[in-house]
Structure 1
């Protein structure tokens, strides 16, 4: 039955008939169908890989649209780039390393406000990958060894935090700053003793080059005393203040898609493939599962739900980053993260609590 068929039969002047009927028909539509759509340009931190699945799912399945949003998702070239593009106004929201956000805010105290609004990686993905045949089994065995990493790598930049947490001197190792495309190759060839990199990136790169987990000692930073957060959804402060319902809607849609991604990673990867048909589906499925298992499914996320922060931990993490990066100032927790846009804690309980 059409909308017009349920309207009462009335006689209107010819000039008013179409307008009156249209007005009456529109009055029967849901309010959401008449609401104005808000456009959001969203900048990822990297290419369309496994961890991008929940963003792409929320777009393709219409979860953003149901919230009255028209979301454009673009691939990126690193967290710093994503943060700078949101700061410049080229994008309203993005996805990037919270530690890089702390750095940006410290170096631009009078610049545009940018805030984390949803923690996706509850721990930093940074890890040390070391050759077992060099006698490395623990952090203490790194003393005197050579580690390779790009100068912008989180593991390299936050080495001081890892070293202090494991009772190592800051200069206990020798660093080689290398191009990211050479990092894993140098370790595979034995030119260096260890590297740092994102767990779910460097492990797959090393396996592609012939190394297996049995050949490696892997030291994930969160498991060795480093309390830093990882990647978060970030938003322009001015955009969020002017459009709070849009930011809330974005996070609801993402949270919904993240829950479905956790429940069925294989199905979620299809949304990445739909965006980039050239991906290796098996590899990106594994990358997604590694990311979920290592930095999304954490004790904190199980106890308190995903997305939020512990204030005490956030304060500690900001200070640790300020010290390790030698920042000119220390941003306040309120500058770095705003929890007011988050879905309810109950909605964010995507994992069973420990013991359940």
Structure 2
């Protein structure tokens, strides 16, 4: 005979199971692509995953490595991924040439672009102009390679006099070290530390950062399809709330972020990736604009300047509007986006 207490216990258990079942049924599956390999700078996304920030928003998120911003953008536009981390400048070029597949940036991560050209001092290349007649190695989808026309224009380089060699990302820095290429393009913190890992010290290198000569550029952002965001505003807002929380936690505790990446990449050099993460956070994320405006946002006047620079560099057929490039309506409240100090 079942007592009243047992009946109440069974009823409570059934309600709990029903609630869990309903939550699982309502969970939204999302696919997110990084721009590159599982390295230090990918820490915020994996930390957000491990700390349950995505699940708290009702999201079941899978995160895959990338193969360059160009590749990530094509995969998001084609529907293989719902959202991704990619170069906003490459996204602008894509939108101008593919208006029917419009993408939109919804959270700016690299407020200062980390794009750069890296050469050995022994090459004799002392100024960007000296790249004429030289060979630059990079993956086809590398964001810095795709944005080279803007760098060339800003520095008076005849881009037709520069030869590009397409290589796998793992071969880029070794090619420079072996002097099989005169220069490479890539993110500063990526190439600098990859070269360090194979025995090339920073004082043996000359780095030409795009930010030093190209006006107003932004870097990588969270990107999605415009139609996906319009149809799923709550999903995008929830995703960004989780990313924002993961980024803040990583800034406050880079070691925790690195541990989250290491769970997925057990062969990584922890000390090196910690240094790479700190360079990315200190140089590209925590800028003066971010300290004033908060994480994730852009300055409209600067974005407009960036759009004009990209239009001229790529000879784009249309002029994009700032609101079509970046949609701030999905961002978490400003109070939640205040940047903590880097620990």
TM over 0.5: yes
Establish whether residue 212 from structure 1 lines up as the match of residue 201 from structure 2. Answer: yes
What is the deviation of 1:349? 1.7
- Which has the larger displacement, 33-42 or 190-199? 33-42
Asked if structure 1 preserves the Cα contact closer than 8 Å seen for 2:31 and 2:82, the reply is yes
Q: Gaps (5+ residues) in structure 1?
A: 1-8, 12-16
CA contact (8 A) 1:55 1:254 kept: yes
| Whole-Å separation in 2 of the counterparts to 1:178 and 1:207 | 22
Given the alignment of the two structures, is residue 283 of structure 1 paired with residue 277 of structure 2, yes or no? no
TM-score (norm 1): 0.83
**What's 1:116 paired with?**
105
Counterpart-to-counterpart distance in 2, 1:73 and 1:208 = 26
Q: Superposition pairs for residues 24-173 of structure 1, below 5 Å?
A: 36-111=26-101, 113-139=102-128, 142=130, 144=132, 146-150=134-138, 151-166=140-155, 168-171=156-159
Find the aligned partners of 1:41 and 1:144 in 2 and give their Cα distance.
Answer: 41
Which residue in 1 is equivalent to 2:162? 174
TM-score, structure 2 normalization: 0.85
Tell me the secondary structure at the aligned position of residue 110 of structure 1: helix
Instruction: Tell me: CA distance 1:165–1:351, structure 2 relative to 1, closer, same or farther (3 Å).
Output: farther
Mapped to 1, the partners of 2:80 and 2:145 lie a distance apart of 29
Question: Residue 238 of structure 2: which of 234, 249, 255 is its match?
Answer: 249
Residue in structure 2 matched with residue 197 of structure 1 by the alignment: 186
Question: Could you tell which deviates more after superposition, 55-64 or 69-78?
Answer: 69-78
SS in 1 for 2:36: coil
Larger Rg: 1
Task: Give unpaired runs (5+ residues) of structure 2.
Answer: none
SS at match of 1:327: coil
Corresponding residue number in structure 1 for 2:297:
308
Q: Which moved more, 1:218-227 or 1:257-266?
A: 218-227
Q: Quick one: distance in 2 between partners of 1:25 and 1:121? A: 45
Aligned residue pairs total 336
The structure-2 alpha-carbon separation of the partners of 1:105 and 1:271, relative to structure 1 and needing over 3 Å to count, comes to same
SS at match of 2:37: coil
- Residue 210 of structure 1 and its aligned partner are, at CA, apart by 2.1
2:229 and 2:131 mapped to 1: Cα distance? 46
Deviations 1:152-209 (A, max 9, x none): 433333333224434x243596334242444323332334443322112211222233
Shift of 1:231: 1.0
Question: 1:338: how far off?
Answer: 0.6
Offset of residue 24 of structure 1 = 10
Q: Secondary structure at the match of 2:100?
A: coil
Q: CA RMSD in A?
A: 3.2
1:326 aligned residue: 315
Contact residue 36 and residue 65 of structure 2 kept, 8 A: yes
